[in-house]
Amino acid sequence: MHFNCKLIPSSSLSHKELEYILTPDEFVRLLSRGKNSQSIINQLPVQLRQSLSISASKSVQSLLFSLNQKLTKAEWIAVSTTVRKTGLSDTQLAQYPQLKKQIDRVETTQPAKFVKANFKPVTDDVPLVRNLSFTPVNPSPEHKISIEFAGQWPNNAASLLLAKSGEQKEKIAKPRADIHASHRSIATFKDLEPEPRNLYLTIPMNGTPQPLKLLLAENIQPVDKETEMDEWDTVLVPVRALAYLTSEQNKLNAAELQGGYVYLFWKGVLWREFYIDNNGYYQDIDVEYHRRLFDEEKNKSKPKTLKREPDGLPLAQFWVPYKIAGDVQQGESGLKLFFSPKQKPFNQIEALESDPAKLNKVSSSLDELSHYSDAKSFSALEFTSDVDSAVVHDITEDDMPWFSDKQAVLRSLDKSNIVIAYLDGHNNGFQVRLEVNDIDRQIPESELDAWEYNGLIAILEDEESDWRVNEAFEPIIHNGYISALITNIPPKGKFTLYFANRHGEDSRVTLFKGLTYQEMVANDLELDAPEPAQPVELDAQQQGLIKASNDQRTAMQKLIFG
């Protein structure tokens, strides 16, 4: 693995490095994507390499821990090869006082100045015979790689990257409107040698100068610089998603999204995960980085559920591969897209990756992108439509909070010839809230084990079928309540709601029985006092996990629906 930064001794820090400094956490995050500790060690300075202990070299995790200690103590300083987009904030420097001390030391010293000697320069007035030599200049490469994009639209933060080869450095290109064909844009890599190159999609990430790199194609062959095509061999399509408000899946009854997550599967594997912010923009989550963390965590005796935070810059639309090196991405190698109000844990993602039928059931296929090759545009089909005909339905107080009828972002893409993908919006459910009589706050991870409501779950099941779902209460207190969101409820059935604790505090506590969906979500629903919990026999180990107090059962009676 090659990383675009270096380590220097703190004593060597000078004014010219100040704009390139990385904090220890930025440097460690950059290296954490490496899979082999030895490849990282080989790129370290010899002096630093010799100071590492044998145990620090055994794994990437132990190596990063050791490097982080040295950087925190400012024995060594990480310097990027590119200038920081934003300077180090006071908050960042406050976390690393030794690094701040070194920076202050350099800033308080004046750069070395060179004073000219106080005498006239010696001139040589003796004419010499001119010695002319001819150095042949190699002609510049005359090949290119062109990537086609459907449509012409406002700027997007993403870009394309051509990986370095044996003869040439990496190159970056952004799509530009094709002045000869209004239905498309072209990203062109010029001055290439006739050697195959790997193509990546790159997304800028917050907090690190290194972008998220997603492999699109391997060994793309450059063509002569004069080559032109009606449709290039590699085509990407910009996509924006709308979500259905009802199970009828009527495109006239769909809305924008302002929360939740969108999952993009390619060739049956999760390729991109997006968080949707309050303005309806998509933020990438580094899937492969978090997948490695999940694999490491699940092998531990007490694995933790790690939340995957979005780091990508906001995007109004995201690019998907329709055609790669002449191969249309359809069927088993095609694209699947679905929306989830809550972040899917990796065990559920892996279950979808191992079961194509299950993935097909919950997702919308993007095979209809092939319409672009025929018409050079898009139209309303089963799962997709053109952006101009997309309609946003009004939102009411009965709709789920992740829906929005704001259209500013969508309408800014009119006449752009991009695609709208329609997804299941999961607009059937309710929020269970429990009064906890505490100040509004998010429970820190360090306090979760001792938190009174840790492990509390709401379980809803249908008496007339085997349908059952359980949702954990989020460790966030808002207006004095904690909440659990229950969605994907069947339209028909008789439902029972009860609480339970994963850690064995009590058996289940029933809140209601035999209600229809309409009765459950009614605003005037009144609950009877819950049935007493039936005690269960616990062994010594289970009893050691019990931390919730006995008055939890009384607090459950204050259940309300949001």
Q: For every residue of 282-327, which 3-state class applies, written as one string?
A: EEEECHHHHHHHHHHHHCCCCCCCCCCCCCECCECCEEEEEEECCE
Digit-coded pLDDT (tens) for 183-193: 999 999 999 99
pLDDT in tens, 7-55: 888 888 888 888 888 888 888 888 877 777 888 888 888 888 888 877 7
pLDDT, tens only, 432-487: 888 888 888 888 877 877 788 888 888 999 999 988 988 888 888 888 888 888 88
CA separation for the pair 255, 244 (Å, rounded)? 7
Confidence of residue 116 (pLDDT cuts 50, 70, 90): low
* 442 contacts: CB under 8 Å, gap ≥ 6: 475, 476, 477
Confidence of residue 226 (pLDDT cuts 50, 70, 90): very high
| Segment 358-379 mean pLDDT | 96
Residue 314 has pLDDT above 90, yes or no: yes
Q: How many CB atoms lie within 10 A of CB 334?
A: 19
Write out pLDDT tens, residues 148-173.
999 999 889 999 999 998 889 999 99
The full length of the chain comes to 562
Q: What was the pLDDT predicted at 58? A: 78
Full-model pTM:
0.68
Report pLDDT for 447.
81
Block residue for tokens 């909440």: 483
Give, in degrees to the nearest 5, the angle at Cα 187 between 182 and 193.
140
- The answer to whether 432 touches 561, Cβ cutoff 8 Å, is yes
Supply the DSSP symbol for 252. T
Rounded average pLDDT over 411-417: 96
Q: What does the block give as tokens for 94?
A: 């406050």
State the pLDDT confidence band at 506, using cuts at 50, 70 and 90. low
The whole-angstrom separation of Cα 355 and Cα 334 is 15
CA nearest neighbour of 498 among 488, 484, 487, 519: 484
**Mean pLDDT of all residues in 235-241:** 98
Q: Is residue 489 over pLDDT 60?
A: yes
Helix (H) or strand (E) holding 182: none
* Closest of 443, 439, 505, 500 to residue 472, by C-alpha: 500
Task: Give the orientation angle of helix 346-353 with respect to helix 287-298, to 10 degrees.
Answer: 110
- Asked if pLDDT for residue 287 goes beyond 70, the answer is yes
CB distance 236 to 325 below 8 Å? no
Ramachandran category for residue 225: left, alpha or beta (phi over 0 → left; psi -120 to 50 → alpha) = alpha
Provide CB contacts within 8 A for 349, sequence distance 6+.
263, 270
Whether pLDDT at 552 is above 50: no
The pLDDT of 51-61, averaged and rounded, is: 79
Residue 138 pLDDT: 73
pLDDT band at residue 260, thresholds of 50, 70 and 90? very high
* Terminal alpha carbon distance of the chain: 49
Residue 511 has pLDDT above 80, yes or no: yes
What average pLDDT does the segment 305-330 reach?
Answer: 94
pLDDT band, very low/low/confident/very high, at 407 (cuts 50, 70, 90): very high
Q: Are 24 and 74 in contact (CB under 8 A)?
A: no
Question: Rounded distance, CA 310 to CA 352, Å?
Answer: 21
- Nearest 5°: the CA angle 333, 339, 342 is 125
- One-character DSSP codes across 466-478: S-EEEEEPPSEEB
What are residue 394's phi and psi, to 5 degrees?
Answer: -65, 145
Compute the average pLDDT of residues 404-426. Answer: 96
Whether residue 524 is predicted with pLDDT greater than 90 in this model: the reply is: no
pLDDT at 376: 96
Name the DSSP class of 478: B
The residue among 112 and 496 whose pLDDT is bigger is 496
* Beta strands per DSSP E along 67-142: 76-80
